[in-house]
Structure 1
Amino acid sequence: MIRNVVSRPARATAAMAATAGIVALAGCSPSTEAAESDAGSVPAGDGTYVDGTYSADGSYATPESVESISVTVTLSDDVITEVQVVGDAQAQESQQYQSDFIGGISVVVVGQDIDEISVSRVAGSSLTSGGFNQAIDAIKAEAAA
């Protein structure tokens, strides 16, 4: 049996290169503000949603509390070109999970069609994903052409 084995240093190097590429590309995208929306100022592309920057809040329950996050995405032809998540954790454990989620979400959703986004777990955080998905649903409703 032949197995394709990649060493941990090689995987780490590949991951760092991919992250560097994403960061470099992020600098090329138009800047966004954490504003409610600038929809309508940019005409719709070929997609279902009006191009622009949208924000919405999402919440989710943990065993200790109800937590919330704010999500801002930029859409171009129905594709998420930029994402920003700001946490507002009440419990200390939630702060860590939200921080991990925020650190990993852009790799998961940037470059994806917004209709194909349904996040279940990012960087070990599964509950934060519920709040994120809730915010994405609100953004889709607001951005609908």
Structure 2
Amino acid sequence: MPGAVQPYQRLLKRPKADSDVWLKNVPEHPKKPSYPEPTDPLFPSNHIKMFNGVLRRTKLKLDREGNKRTAYSLRHTYICMRLIEGADIYALAKNRRTSADMIQKFYAAHIKDLLDASAINVMRPKRTKRPSGESPDKRPD
């Protein structure tokens, strides 16, 4: 998602957690900070434990019905948010590797009052091939 780019870029500018530089009260620390490399893992430790730690600290481990949240539960949130924003259900199904029927049955049903059915049920017209040599910015008169 576009909103994840800036936080990711900020993370790249931070020293690695295994770097001792984060200890602020060590002025004569001889080691320079080490920064993430493109080949470094995004989650250097167990991502499940990290996710559960965040949920625990923010008191969000349980949903409003008392069910435990998991990383998989973010899938539901993502799909529902995209539907509310008016995303094309077929493109969303392809992106999430599921069918439009499954999205309508398991996700859209929860937010049916928030959705504009006329916007969701519209099929995009198929793109027509341009004759060879025609530039994409030329429009017929």
TM-score band by shorter chain is: under 0.3
Q: Quick check: which one's strand share is greater?
A: 1
Q: Rg bigger for which structure?
A: 2
Task: Name whichever structure is richer in helix by fraction.
Answer: 2
Q: Give the TM-score normalised by structure 1.
A: 0.27
